[in-house]
Amino acid sequence: MSSAVASHAHPPTSTGLDHRKIAIWAFIGSECMLFASLISTYLIYKGRSVVGPFPHEACNPPLCATPLKPILNIPVTSVSTFVLLMSSLAMVLALAAVENKGKPGYEGILGSSKLWLLMTAILGATFLGFQAYEFTSFVHEGLTIRTNLFGSSFFTLTGFHGAHVTAGVLWLLTLLAIDMKRGLGPKDALLVDISALYWHFVDVVWIAIFTLVYLIK
Amino acid sequence: MADHEFTHTNPDIDVHAMGEMHEHPTWKQYKWVALILTVITIFEVWAYYIPSFVASPLFVPTLLIMSAVKFAIVVLFYMHLRYDHKLFKALFTGPLIIAMSTLIALLFLFGKFVKR
């Protein structure tokens, strides 16, 4: 181990593994259970709303005061899903850039951790923009968290996910600020790795939500 | 770990503490993974717009399988679980199995698998 690592080395542990990395995996495991409970709630309430708007079906009087189209906007959500998937690609490239800083092939702009961290944060913020647009349009179409069972479970599930994405974007911006100030190098790989694990987890949760909530009728 | 043979090409990285058992994928592999994820997503959305397929009993299983494949690809390659220490695999798959079992049990309890 080099002196650069030795000065940043984690104290010896019984497993030989860094506690921070074990902690993030344990946290991700607990998050699996949180999102499973939210998805379960959504699926249990699915199709049990008494009044519209409904996710995949049109709503006509007397269930709705005026005829309403199915409320989910699949094309827009498909684009936002693609954006989140690409943010995961940007995140792995950021980690690779940090781990290989200074090595051949990582000298140019495409090997810059700043570029990929910024790109990941921008793509995450874009996803949040799509979600804000979706929520706003739903409210304008008469669906709020209090309208029906679909509204309650949908806004709770996707709202929790959006909150996680927001936390991830803030985390990425913090790393970017550190990178701008003193530069992130191989000795900081673990810090970036931990944030990357969180970010990818947010991505896999959306993969499940996109299929279970948006695509399966 | 006494059986830890792998060392990163960059000596400044403490792969031991990070739990890395094998070299992570290259940029090229990451881009292939992104392409596969994109193609599967396109197939998912395409399937949604085929009324005859949506009406068939294959629709839901097909979407669930495609989603599971995407989930697994991200976890194995982007989250490096395929290359990392077995303790991390246990910390993720254990709660995931509990979460999936709970989800399926709740759907059974609330009659979601009963044909009406």
Task: Specify the CATH number for the domain of residue A84.
Answer: 1.20.120.80
Give the separation between CA B65 and CA B68, rounded to whole angstroms.
5
Tell me how far apart the alpha carbons of residues A24 and B88 are, in angstroms, rounded to a whole number.
9
Comparing CA positions, the residue from A113, A120, A52, A112 lying closest to residue A86 is A120
Predicted local confidence at residue B21, as pLDDT: 60
In a domain, A3, yes or no: no
Distance between A20 CA and the closest CA of chain B, angstroms: 9
B19 touches chain A (CB under 8 A): yes
Question: Which of B27, B74, B100 lies closest to A200 in CB terms?
Answer: B74
In the prediction, which pLDDT does B8 show?
61
DSSP code of residue A32: H
Question: Looking at chain A, which residue has its C-alpha nearest residue B73?
Answer: A204
Question: How much is the pLDDT for A8?
Answer: 53
Q: Residue B4: pLDDT band by 50, 70, 90 thresholds?
A: very low
Q: Residue B43 — φ and ψ, nearest 5°?
A: -65, -40
The pLDDT value recorded for residue A156 is: 97
Tens-digit pLDDT string for chain A (217 aa): 444 444 455 667 787 888 899 999 999 999 999 999 999 999 999 988 888 788 888 877 777 777 888 889 999 999 999 999 999 999 999 999 999 888 887 888 888 899 999 999 999 999 999 999 999 999 998 899 998 999 999 999 999 999 999 999 999 999 999 999 998 988 899 999 999 999 999 999 999 999 999 999 8
**pTM of the shown model:** 0.89
Q: Would you say residue A41 lies in a domain?
A: yes
Interface list for A 15-44 with B (CB within 8 A): 15-18, 21-22, 25-26, 28-30, 32-33, 35-37, 39-40, 43-44
- B75: chain A residues, CB-CB within 8 Å: 200, 204
Sign of the alpha-carbon torsion through A5, A10, A16, A18: negative
Q: Give A88's contacts in chain B (Cβ within 8 Å).
A: 34, 74, 78
Burial class (CB in 10 A: 0-12, 13-18, 19+), A18: buried
Confidence of residue B116 (pLDDT cuts 50, 70, 90): low
% of chain A exceeding 90 in pLDDT: 69
Q: Do the domain assignments include residue A10? A: no
Q: How many of the other CB atoms lie within 10 Å of CB of A147?
A: 19
| pLDDT at position B13 | 66
Q: CA-nearest residue of chain B to A11?
A: B17
Beta-carbon pairs below 8 A across chains A and B: 163
SS3 B114: coil
Mean pLDDT over B6-23 rounds to: 64
C-alpha distances (whole Å) from A38 to each of A92, A162, A181, B23 are: 28, 13, 39, 36
Number of domains observed in the structure of chain A = 1
Classify residue A5: in a domain, yes or no: no
Q: Is B80 left (phi over 0), alpha (psi -120 to 50) or beta?
A: left
Residue with token string 């990163």: B8
Q: Is residue A13 in a domain?
A: no
Select from A5, A43, A196 the Cβ nearest to the Cβ of B14: A5
Q: What does the pLDDT look like over A8-25, one tens digit per residue?
A: 556 677 878 888 999 999
Q: Is residue A9 domain-resident?
A: no
Domain-embedded: residue A189: yes
What amino acid occupies position A183?
G
pLDDT band at residue B101 under the 50/70/90 scheme: very high
Q: Does residue A103 sit within a domain?
A: yes
DSSP string, A109-171: GGG-HHHHHHHHHHHHHHHHHHHHHHHHHHHHTT--TTT-HHHHHHHHHHHHHHHHHHHHHHH
> Which range of residues forms the domain containing residue A112?
19-215
Is the CB of residue A172 less than 8 Å from the CB of residue A117?
yes
In sequence order, the 6+-apart residues with CB closer than 8 A to the CB of B4 are A16, B15, B16, B21
Q: Would you call A211 and B94 a contact, using CB atoms and an 8 Å cutoff? A: no
**B50 to chain A: which residues are within 8 Å by CB?**
none
Interfacial B residues in 36-95 facing A (CB < 8 Å): 37-38, 41, 44-45, 47-48, 54, 59-60, 63-64, 66-67, 70-71, 74-75, 78-79, 85, 87-88, 91-92, 94-95
Structure tokens at A24: 């993030």
